[in-house]
Amino acid sequence: MTRPFGLLAELTYACPLHCPYCSNPLRLADYGDELTTAEWRRVLTEARELGVVQAHLSGGEPLQRRDLVEIARTAAELGLYTNLITSAIGLSPRRAEQLRAAGLDHVQISVQAHEAALSDRIAGTPSFERKAAAARTVKDLGWPLTVNVVLHRQNIDRIADIIALVERLGADRIELANTQYYGWALHNRAALLPSRTQVERAEQVVRAARKRLEGRAELTYILPDYYLDFPKPCMGGWGKLQLTVVPNGDALPCPAAHTLPLPRVNVREKSLAWIWAESPLFQRFRGTGWMPEPCRGCPRREIDFGGCRCQAFLLTGDAARTDPVCILSPDHEIVAEAVRVANAETRPVAEVLAPRPHPRDTR
């Protein structure tokens, strides 16, 4: 593809939750100069002209933006399929009705666990009951509902209970995604990375649930990178299928690329068309010409594109290295050691989670 089909619009990094696996930047206060309503309207218009057909409204918590209804209405009027990715804190029946009237097409709600005590502990604030109420509102208004649960060492053993909860909420799609180790998740990796036994048990539960739910709900299960022999393709390829615009207007080839020491490009200064087609940032890791060995000569280079550039940088300090998840990577021992620690009979690190702070607390 020469044009993106999806735009992830991260409207704000403000969020009422404090999830310890959050992949938002560690320095949240750097993104406080948020795009205005008019600027987001221009971004959405340029995205549609570029070929985008899906707009995912995310954050942080997008409901923290008072102009969310206006932004959603603009996207709908442009003919974009709109998806709200939310914690559901703030999705009152009145706000939901306004978003429905504005043309919002789909709602994705995150849930941290199957019951209030564990869910609220992971989220860092009482939220479980409000999430369940919001999910019922979504279904009452006739929206398709996706429920997303990030899995990790603290909740993966309750995956059967989690699936049962999501069934009761009436979800049309269930997304069970093992933690990706960026941002606060990498900071908390020792307490989040599950053991191999936990992962294998979870897979058995998922296989049985898929068979039971066939024809009623779609179930997506994303394995943890650290237990794979080969990495997942980075966003289907760097700057190939989708792009992200973050609260201050920086445009990124993937949501975690803010971590990379590459030239920034901002929608306040350049058009999305120029950013997509010509910016050094989006060109840097496109295709396969940039690849070092062993990726350059690997038959999988057009399948996984060398893996995740952000993960490579965070683990090795060099974004051009082969993703250390790959068993062929010269840096694979970094991941292997993390897995050994996660599976040790006596774990040397206390399983204490550092919560994601509010942006004002990261100055």
Annotated binding site: 15, 19, 22
Environment class of residue 172 by beta-carbon count within 10 Å: exposed (0-12), middle (13-18) or buried (19+)?
Answer: middle
- Name 131's Cβ contacts closer than 8 Å, sequence gap at least 6: 87, 88, 89, 109, 110, 111, 119
Neighbours of 289 (CB within 10 A): 7
**Pairing of the two strands 251-252 and 242-245:** antiparallel
Environment class of residue 337 by beta-carbon count within 10 Å: exposed (0-12), middle (13-18) or buried (19+)?
Answer: exposed
Feature table: binding site for [4Fe-4S] cluster: 15, 19, 22
CA distance linking residue 33 with residue 147, whole number of Å: 30
Tokens of 155: 């909740």
Distances (CA, A) of 138 to 56, 91, 100: 17, 9, 9
**3-state SS, residue 322:** coil
CA distance linking residue 125 with residue 67, whole number of Å: 25
CA distance linking residue 162 with residue 115, whole number of Å: 8
Q: Which residues on neighbouring strands pair with residue 173, listed in sequence order?
A: 146, 218
> What is the total residue count of the chain?
363
